[in-house]
Amino acid sequence: MPFVELMHFPDTHFPTTEPRLFGTHIPFPSLSESITECDCKIIYICRNPFDTFISAWDYFDKIKDHSLSALTMEEAFEMYCNGIIEFGPWWSHMLGYWNESIVRPNKVLFLKYEDLKEDGNFCVKRVAEFLGFPFTQEEERNGVVESIIKLCSFEKMKGLEVNKSGMLFKVLENKHFFRKGEIGDWVNYFSPSMTEKLSKIVEEKLSGSGLSFEIMHS
């Protein structure tokens, strides 16, 4: 899926037929009006801030230039807690789309990775309804929803040959986009002090927004 933020590159090819699908990491306030004010639908998927940190730390370490020294987890954690991460602080990124999903629920659908993992059936049907193409009773009886869940599962996607040996834009190895995909793996890396610090930040930054996460403590 092509990324909106790479559209200015002349050698990047985008689909010309409709409907078109694009991906992006851009914060909602930074999206162009051609996106925010048109009839296109936005589906935002986030992950709990604890697993997000471990996943990001591992990913950026793998794709960094070999001439650069690796950040320790402690160094990366301090940057993360201070909002120093690509595309801005994670809390403002989440809240931008979260708030818009409340104001314009027909425009923005806000989903959590944890919900997708725990109740894929509900989430897939919710996405279909949001896009205006709900499943028919016959499709549900014939197991279409379950087939989609299986086809799009983390395990299935990770096992595809293109994601084992393929490249994105001739720069990034596709295999780096797939790690474990587990919920709560952060407990194997966080110290008690890290858990306490990030818990306080989550509580402070998301306070009063209505957005919350179930955090599984070790």
Quick one: CA torsion of 175, 170, 3, 114, rounded to 10 degrees? Answer: 0
Decide: residue 190, CB within 10 A, 0-12 exposed, 13-18 middle, 19+ buried. buried
> What angle, 0 to 180 degrees and rounded to 10, lies between the N-to-C axes of helices 120-130 and 144-151?
100
Q: Please name the amino acid found at residue 14.
A: F
25 flagged as catalytic: yes
The answer to whether 174 and 168 are in contact (CB under 8 A) is: yes
Alpha-carbon gap, residue 47 to 49, rounded angstroms: 6
Beta pairing partners, 45: 111
Q: Are 154 and 88 in contact (CB under 8 A)?
A: no
Distance spanning both ends of the chain, measured CA to CA: 36
Residue among 25, 66, 93, 217 flagged as catalytic: 25
Phi-psi region of 172 (alpha: psi -120 to 50; beta: other; left: phi over 0): beta
Active-site residue numbers? Answer: 25
